Amino acid sequence: MSGKKKFIRDSVYGDINLSEFEVKVMDMPQFQRLRRIKQLGLISLIYPGATHTRFEHCLGTMNLGSKLAEELELDQDDVELIRISALLHDIGHGPFSHVSEGVLSFPHEELTRYVVTQTSMRDLLEEKFNVNEIADIINGKGHLGPIVSGELDVDRMDYLLRDSHNTGVSYGIIDYERIISNLKLEDGLILDIKGVQAAEGALVSRYFMYPSVYQHHTTRIVNSMFRRALQKTFDEKIIDEHEIYRYDDSDITSMFRNSENEYVRDIMFRLDNRIIPKRVKTIRLDNFKYPEKMYKIKAEELRKAEAEIAEDYDLDKDYVFINIAEYPRFDEMKTQVNVDGKLYPLTEISNIIGALSKARFNIPDISVYVPEDEKYKFDKLKLENYLELPEIDREKFHGIHYDQIKLF
């Protein structure tokens, strides 16, 4: 990197060096806003230490992107392009990160492209870079795209390390240096066979972070509460979803607390005071013969079922929540591995990854949540009376539990 360097102390990696130009970019209001966006949204209600921000994550992603670019022996211009793209990769995130994104009709990457190419950030970036190249890399496009947004990218590596560090959940500790030193850039990032064990560790880490942190049952209900309130704010035209990138966590929190909408105010009061609905019905997706079918249930069907449950049990429909855990994608399983000059998917090389691929539906579930003081009404709730659920696989269900019993 050219120019005078500055160092910033990071809680995960120690000192991260910055060029003068990168400091200028970070000093822009669009980037400073990320200091006020929690990386894990509302998860601090479950893990009090999870108050780290998108600002920190972007710095960490830049740090790993730089290490990987140098390991790949890219020229200096490409190293700097990767650094700035990684630094800006989440600049379009809305308040509370992925929590608000769950209400948007488009992914946050579209807002990131807009901020990079259409706001005052563009004027600064164009002093050194082509903003469209930056936007493409952030979206995983082109030769360099997989470094920042791919199957085994630096974004995932950083958030696993950082989220683990701040939540105190040890599952996310990964050997990122071993992974980085065994990646090559060809038609995408290719992992050398010597890096498979480290990649296995990363996949296992994310597999366990999924139910422990990202899709913890309390995480899911507080996210659902916030999203329902935000949707009402969108519906009432108080906020334009296309301008959500302008707001930070405190903006939305204050707006909710002072909303003219009684429901929005009440939801914020409940979140402020951790008055959280409780589960009254849970069905694990591995109970079904074809668990993938659960993800074909439309949002309208869930809302209709919530309204019918509310009517039958004499509740306000806005306080009944049916939530299906997010689809366990684990894209890293698609990573290509170089074995003696031939490429194979990671799932074929590693028995562990193959097993994880089959086990991905062991943890997700569909759950019904209601206010705690209404929970007593729901001893005999049958969800199948309100939703068309896939067929139960009774043999598979008993087989899984028999295998688990043998472990003890």
What is the torsional sign of CA 220, 221, 224, 225?
negative
Report pLDDT for 219.
97
Percentage above 90 pLDDT, the chain: 86
Q: Which residue has the tokens 């990649």?
A: 199
Report pLDDT for 396.
65
Q: Which of 65-79, 277-291, 313-327, 346-360 has the lowest mean pLDDT?
A: 346-360
Residue 198 CA to residue 215 CA, distance in Å, equals 24
Residue 307 CA to residue 201 CA, distance in Å, equals 43
Report pLDDT for 86.
98
Q: Of 110, 105, 115, 165, whose CA–CA distance to 139 is shortest?
A: 110
Residue 297 has pLDDT above 80, yes or no: yes
Q: 264 - beta bridge partners?
A: none
Q: Of 330, 72, 270, 279, whose CA–CA distance to 189 is shortest?
A: 72
Q: What's the average model confidence in pLDDT over 227-250?
A: 96
Q: Residues 324-380: pLDDT tens digits?
A: 999 988 887 889 999 999 999 998 999 988 888 888 888 899 999 999 999 999 998
Percentage above 70 pLDDT, the chain: 96
Q: Residues 119-164: pLDDT tens digits?
A: 999 999 999 999 999 999 999 999 999 999 998 999 999 999 999 9
Give me the amino acid identity at 284: R
Report pLDDT for 171.
85
Kindly tell me the number of DSSP H helices and DSSP E strands found in the chain: 19, 9
Report pLDDT for 394.
75
Residue 2 CA to residue 57 CA, distance in Å, equals 24
pTM: 0.92
Residue 327 CA to residue 334 CA, distance in Å, equals 16
Report pLDDT for 3.
55
Give me the amino acid identity at 354: G
pLDDT classification of 4: cutoffs 50, 70, 90? low
Residue 404 has pLDDT above 50, yes or no: no
